[in-house]
Structure formats: structure tokens, C-alpha cells
């Protein structure tokens, strides 16, 4: 009989403070705050930046396709896109298959991205140097593997 849940976890051989989920969530929150703050002058959040980027790199995409590519729940993407559509960052048009809708970046979206890229790059470089470039090269592979395995 252990005193509390923390002791119980230690007993099982795991320290809850070392939880992968906890640590990733914490880092995710802090990173999001910093990137959102840096991107403020561009009018984009890091969420929006991340959604627009593949639309730039790969062209128009179906909603499910973009959701899959971005590892985001489709219904979450729908909600995020409606904000972006209202702000004129994307246009959503019917696809050939009448079930589908296709997302494309607008002129305004491209303009915002053009302003955002240098700011994103500076933040990213700064984070990379904190993390150690070579460390991240290895870590990123592990993280992507983890994502692939879990979902």
C-alpha cells in the first residue's frame, strides 16, 4: 500500500515527471506561445502558418488530405479553416468528387506567408541552436516514427 499516486508510479518503475506526453505537451505550449508572439506582426498564428505552408509547397488539397498531411484531426482542421477563410487566407472550393472540398491559399495568404517566413526562420534557427542542430536531426526522426506508430 503506497502513500499516493506519485509513489504508486515510482513503485511501478516510472517517474511521472519524465512522462513523454507531459514533456511534449509542455514544450508544445511554450513553443506555440513563442512562435505565435513572433508571428504577430504578420497576422498569422503558427497554426495558420503550418496549414498554409503545405498549400504553398504542394498546391491545393482536399480537407482530409491536408488534415492527414498535417497530423491534425479533420474536424479540428475544419474549425481552423473557417477562421482562415473568414480572414481571407484561404479559399475553399468544391472538388470534382462532389463529396470533397478543396483548400487553396489566396493572394492575401501568400502575402502573409512571404512576410512570415523570415520571422519563422529566425525563431526556428534560434530554437535549433538551443537544441543543438545535430541533436534535432536525430530527435526529429524518432518523433516522426513515434507519430507514425501511434496514430
Q: Which residues bind DNA (CB under 7 A)?
A: 25, 29-30, 32-33, 36-37, 45, 47-48, 62-65, 72-76, 78-80, 83, 86, 92, 95, 97-102
* Nearest approach, Cβ of residue 102 and DNA (Å): 7
* Residue 150 host element (H or E): helix 133-150
* Nearest approach, Cβ of residue 25 and DNA (Å): 5
CB 68 within 8 A of CB 54: no
- The partner residues of 91 in beta bridges, in order of sequence, read 104
* Nearest approach, Cβ of residue 107 and DNA (Å): 20
What lies within 8 Å, CB to CB, of 108 at 6+ separation is: 87, 88, 89
**How far out from the chain centre does Cα 144 lie?**
13
Place of cell 468528387: 97
User: 148 to each of 69, 133, 151, how far by Cα in Å?
Assistant: 12, 23, 6
Site for its own copies, residues 6 to 65, rule: CB under 8 A: 6, 8-9, 12-14, 16, 18-35, 46, 50, 52-53, 56-57
CB 58 within 8 A of CB 78: no
Site for its own copies, residues 109 to 148, rule: CB under 8 A: 110, 113-114, 116-118, 120-121, 123-125, 127-128, 130-132, 135-136, 138-140, 142-147
- Interface residues with its own copies (CB under 8 A) are 4-6, 8-9, 12-14, 16, 18-35, 46, 50, 52-53, 56-57, 70-73, 110, 113-114, 116-118, 120-121, 123-125, 127-128, 130-132, 135-136, 138-140, 142-147, 149-151
Amino acid at each position: 500500500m503506497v502513500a499516493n499516486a506519485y509513489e504508486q508510479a515510482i513503485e511501478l518503475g516510472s517517474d511521472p515527471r519524465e512522462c513523454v506526453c507531459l514533456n511534449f505537451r509542455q514544450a508544445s505550449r511554450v513553443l506555440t506561445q513563442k512562435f505565435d508572439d513572433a508571428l504577430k506582426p504578420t497576422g498569422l498564428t503558427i497554426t495558420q502558418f503550418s496549414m498554409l505552408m503545405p498549400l504553398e509547397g504542394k498546391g491545393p488539397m482536399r480537407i482530409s488530405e491536408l488534415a492527414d498531411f498535417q497530423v491534425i484531426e479533420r474536424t479540428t482542421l475544419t474549425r481552423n479553416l473557417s477562421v482562415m477563410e473568414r480572414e481571407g487566407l484561404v479559399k475553399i472550393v468544391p472538388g470534382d468528387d462532389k463529396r470533397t472540398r478543396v483548400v487553396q491559399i489566396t493572394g492575401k495568404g501568400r502575402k502573409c506567408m512571404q512576410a512570415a517566413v523570415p520571422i519563422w526562420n529566425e525563431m526556428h534557427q534560434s530554437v535549433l541552436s538551443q537544441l543543438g542542430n545535430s541533436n534535432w536531426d536525430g530527435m526529429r526522426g524518432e518523433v516522426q516514427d513515434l507519430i507514425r506508430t501511434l496514430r
